[in-house]
Chain A
Amino acid sequence: MVGTALQRRLIWRTAEVVDLVDETPRVRSLVLAVPGWPGHQAGQHVDVRLTADDGYQTQRSYSIASPQSTDERLTLTIERLDDGEVSPYLARELHAGDQLELRGPIGGYFVWAPALGGPLLLIAGGSGSCPLMAMLRLRQAAGSTVPARLLYSSRSLDEVIYRSELARLVAAGSGLEVMLTLTRAQPPGWTGLHRRIDTEMLQSVAWSPAERPWIFICGPTPLVETAASALVDLGHEPARIKTERFGPTGG
């Protein structure tokens, strides 16, 4: 932690794609090897920079989905927006062995570590589950039993990222609960939640404000704003609600 905080200049590094994992029809994870990578905290992101042959450059932020490790590797999980400039390239065109420019780890505000404690309330919309997954993976790897709940809004079951891994983490019995809400399509016989996140849903899922949960909300801007203001209305301390808006999309 101190090492990361005191790391001086943020430099552009060359990452190599070592593995690709198709998470859903529109989402792919990239496992990257980054020589000299100093390590990172759960919730931090990287800036990825692409340069065209004519010198045109463009840059986007992507959360780190993998927990802290010492192997100079990290995983990004990218949702492909077909009319987007960068995400189709990252989630479709890149192959193992390709190189990519990135800088990081970035950010110190939207981070969780077991020492921060809990309860831990995580709220995700679409690819907003990426940084939250880093927190859950870290919680598991560290043997933490801090009570944790993930409320995850997705259009359909097929679009739930990390679905089987989440099921395994829940089954491990360390005090994690996962609630899915499927907003567009539900499989036959679905008895779970099936509407957009609202105050009533948050009231039933969140701990009471008296239990002072740490709350991390991530996803498309409209979802993040709805959830954050509903939680404030329910009496949760604004200072314990951390948000990461992905922008108009990402849901």
Chain B
Amino acid sequence: MTMSEQELRLDGNAAAGLLQEVFVHEVTSVRGACARCGAVGEMGAQHLYMTPLSPGAVLRCTSCDSLLIVAVRTGGRLRVGLQGLVWIELPDEGAAS
């Protein structure tokens, strides 16, 4: 059985564990901006491509399908490419509250 890319699609939310290894913070509930089309959205709402056998994950913009984050595990390292994001917004723990 072969599967279309669409059938294998997940939500960014499914990469929350992986992304928390990188950012420490839970980042699927925060907003980011796509470098290609400028769309702003919660990371958990973007399209995720990740299968149990693949060595990583690809997060794509739901508006323009451009790459936002690419994470690859290899040789004991986790390489994270963030070229597709202009910014990501994290809770500011340094701020007076």
Binding site for B on A (CB under 8 A): 5-6, 8-10, 45, 47, 58-61, 85-86, 103-104, 106-111, 221-222, 225, 242-248
CB-CB under 8 A from A110, the residues of chain B are: 11, 13, 44
Q: Give the distance in Å from the alpha carbon of A106 to the alpha carbon of B29 in the complex.
A: 11
Q: Is the CB–CB distance between B10 and A107 below 8 Å?
A: no
Interface residues of B in 22-74 (CB under 8 A from A): 24, 26, 28-29, 42-45, 51-52
CB-CB under 8 A from B92, the residues of chain A are: none
Residue of B with least CB distance to A58: B52
Q: Give the distance in Å from the alpha carbon of A61 to the alpha carbon of B48 in the complex.
A: 14
| Given A5-B26, A58-B52, A242-B45, A106:B16 Cβ within 8 A | yes
**Distance (whole angstroms) from the CB of B95 to the closest CB of chain A:** 13
Interface assignment of B75: CB less than 8 Å from any CB of chain A: no
Interface assignment of B96: CB less than 8 Å from any CB of chain A: no
Q: Give the distance in Å from the alpha carbon of A10 to the alpha carbon of B18 in the complex.
A: 9
Q: Number of B residues whose C-beta is below 8 Å from A?
A: 26
CB-CB under 8 A from B91, the residues of chain A are: 5
Q: Is the CB–CB distance between B17 and A61 below 8 Å?
A: yes
CB-CB under 8 A from B28, the residues of chain A are: 107-109
Pairs across A and B, CB under 8 Å, 5 listed:
A85-B52, A104-B17, A107-B13, A225-B6, A247-B10
CB-CB under 8 A from A243, the residues of chain B are: 11, 45
- Could you say which of B8, B20, B42 contacts A109, with CB atoms under 8 Å apart? B42
- Could you say which of A6, A8, A103, A244 contacts B17, with CB atoms under 8 Å apart? A103
Q: Is the CB–CB distance between B24 and A9 below 8 Å?
A: yes
**Distance (whole angstroms) from the CB of B46 to the closest CB of chain A:** 10
CB-CB under 8 A from A8, the residues of chain B are: 24
CB-CB under 8 A from A222, the residues of chain B are: 6-7
Q: Is the CB–CB distance between B17 and A109 below 8 Å?
A: no
For the complex with contacts A109-B12, A109-B45, A245-B9, 20 further pairs of A-B residues with Cβ separation under 8 Å are: A6-B93, A8-B24, A10-B17, A10-B21, A45-B16, A107-B13, A107-B26, A107-B29, A108-B28, A108-B44, A109-B13, A109-B29, A221-B6, A221-B8, A221-B10, A244-B13, A245-B11, A246-B10, A247-B8, A248-B3
Q: Is the CB–CB distance between B14 and A245 below 8 Å?
A: yes
Q: Give the distance in Å from the alpha carbon of A114 to the alpha carbon of B70 in the complex.
A: 35
Q: Is the CB–CB distance between B52 and A59 below 8 Å?
A: yes
Residue of A with least CB distance to B48: A245
Q: Is the CB–CB distance between B43 and A106 below 8 Å?
A: no
CB-CB under 8 A from A246, the residues of chain B are: 10
CB-CB under 8 A from A86, the residues of chain B are: 52
Q: Give the distance in Å from the alpha carbon of A92 to the alpha carbon of B17 in the complex.
A: 26
